[in-house]
Chains A and B, each alone.
Chain A
């Protein structure tokens, strides 16, 4: 018997990602209700699945066929909607990142889910990518100290990846990304904050695994047209994170490089939205040997939904404390980076 899924929010995260991904679960999940804030896009997604559609979250949360809720709306709504889902007795919440924007909201959501026994998972798909487990296993087995971490991302518009996994009505396409006024300190600070909590957060669980305690931000600056470059020190490890969103051109690059005392390990993540297998892992060890781990068919999104299923079925415990710690780390980093970017502007 499949689990009824209600999706709140009808942007690309719903239509190009979670709705089609549930169809890969062999019937384990069934989208039964989609809601939005009144844009009308929920109907389009719902019609494809034979699901209901509505405006706002209330009707969806009251729908008895909805067992679990996927939160794909604006980040500022996630904490409130997660709490509402728990209050409505839903068995599980898959919350797109970030879980919440304040430390208090993180704690409130975690406490509510823990008390209710609600399965909770956050949509940071890099954490669930099978490649990360392989990389972590290698690092633990080698037992070497981490010397430096570098995350580099260069991202064209997602349209090309949406087109690979869904179809949309011919309509006015999304507007061009409008470059912020980076000279305005408030703008610079705000955009950097959103980039950390909404984009770079994909790698926060990985960074926290490697360098768990943020010590200081060395620099944080915007990268025109839309992007940021951060340098911070965590647990004595220098971490450099650069992400830029470009108007077109080359395919997406998202790469994490982890340097130990002797080894260099690189994880190259596939483009967003698509199901093209796991990330690639390549290690150049201290002896100069290059070891390439084979990619596997499952990508981070499929693995994320499988982990959600395991949590719902009781096959795996929900790591509330880890989820909370990741969320706190993201907020701490975002706040510090935003402050540094605002001072610099």
Chain B
């Protein structure tokens, strides 16, 4: 069971409240009565603290309840996440992993943070000190790649990305287009970039030097990302406001893969329980995006 703190969720509160309701065996809403970032209790949560949930580590003994804080991805999310990390580090005592299990006063492990649909940010800003807190990043345009697609992409000869970027949110869409290139081709290195007015063309090297090409341009219509992995088997992903569709083509034909119908918020909470850390991927995608801006 995870306790989900929505005090900093902002505009994402309703979505995560709904996600919590859809995870009755896994999650529940939690609010820190001291307020986030407060050091009044000396940074340590005691077993008899007024708001200590029944499933607190002290109450459950050996069972430890994970606590997750949801942070709105609106402007300033970095600062909010930083404040939570500092508070979390302080609560952890001497360091990010400082724990004293079995005692009545439990030094908490750093609190995982879920960033809800983060706005684009300069990569330099992402180098803030990580006090050991895992960061889950909700990116609704980038669900888990289904196994069949992952297998096909692993054998791809080349990857092609096409992105129609909206006027508002274009940076986030471009970041996610880059994210799709990473999903299909692995970590990227920029080879070249050219701008044609507001549009851009870029080439990259991916995993094992696989060629990756990207074209991105503004649109006044609905935004869309088309991501293709080409090879003996092909992957074609289409991302738009309606969701994500992934197809795999092979010698057997063209298969539309079953969609993950869980909400992005619910998926994010699941990843939080699994101990994922999405920050490296976000940093990678943001750095590539910023690099393309500089070229």
Contacts and interface: CB of A to CB of B under 8 A. Distances in A.
Given A154-B234, A250-B250, A238 B196 contact: yes
A253 interface: yes
A58 B283 CA distance: 66
B263 interface: no
Given A227-B158, A248-B232, A259 B219 contact: yes
Contact of B157 (A223, A285, A286): A223
B115 interface: no
B291 to A, nearest CB: 15
Contacts of A219: 191-192, 194, 201, 203, 213
Interface string B218-230: 1111101010101
A244 B234 CA distance: 12
Nearest to A288: B222
16 contacts: A152-B160, A219-B192, A219-B203, A225-B157, A227-B158, A231-B192, A244-B157, A244-B231, A246-B157, A250-B232, A253-B230, A253-B249, A257-B162, A262-B221, A263-B221, A286-B219
Interface residues of chain A: helix, strand, loop or mixed (majority): strand
Given A218-B192, A219-B192, A240-B201, A264 B231 contact: no
Contacts of B224: 264, 284
A148 B203 contact: no
A237 interface: yes
A238 B215 contact: yes
A324 B192 CA distance: 32
Contact of A249 (B158, B192, B211, B250): B250
A143 to B, nearest CB: 14
Contacts of B219: 147, 259, 261-262, 264, 286
Nearest to B218: A147
A150 B160 contact: yes
B182 interface: no
Interface residues of chain B: helix, strand, loop or mixed (majority): strand
A229 interface: yes
Contact of A229 (B196, B197, B203, B250): B203
A4 B266 CA distance: 70
A233 interface: yes
Contacts, number: 144
B173 to A, nearest CB: 14
A218 to B, nearest CB: 3
Interface of A: 147-148, 150, 152, 154, 156, 216, 218-219, 221-225, 227, 229, 231-233, 236-240, 242, 244, 246-251, 253, 257, 259, 261-264, 284-288, 344
Contacts of A233: 194, 196, 201
Given A231-B203, A237-B196, A244-B230, A285 B160 contact: no
Interface in B151-199: 157-158, 160, 162, 164, 191-194, 196-197, 199
Interface size class of B (residues with CB under 8 A): 35 or more
B217 A249 contact: no
B40 interface: no
Contacts of B158: 223, 227, 229, 242, 244
A155 to B, nearest CB: 10
Contact of B217 (A148, A152, A156): A148
A264 B163 CA distance: 11
A259 B194 CA distance: 18
Interface string B124-146: 00000000000000000000000
Contact of B220 (A246, A249, A286): A286
B231 A249 contact: yes
A285 B232 contact: no
B233 interface: yes
Q: Which 9 A-B pairs have the closest CB atoms?
A: A249-B232, A218-B194, A286-B221, A262-B221, A231-B201, A148-B217, A250-B249, A240-B215, A154-B230
B250 A264 contact: no
Contacts of A257: 162, 226
A161 to B, nearest CB: 14
Given A219-B203, A238-B194, A251-B249, A229 B217 contact: no
A238 B201 CA distance: 7
Given A248-B251, A250-B249, 18 more contacts: A147-B164, A147-B199, A148-B162, A148-B164, A150-B160, A154-B234, A156-B232, A218-B203, A221-B203, A225-B157, A229-B211, A238-B199, A246-B230, A249-B250, A250-B232, A253-B234, A262-B219, A264-B164
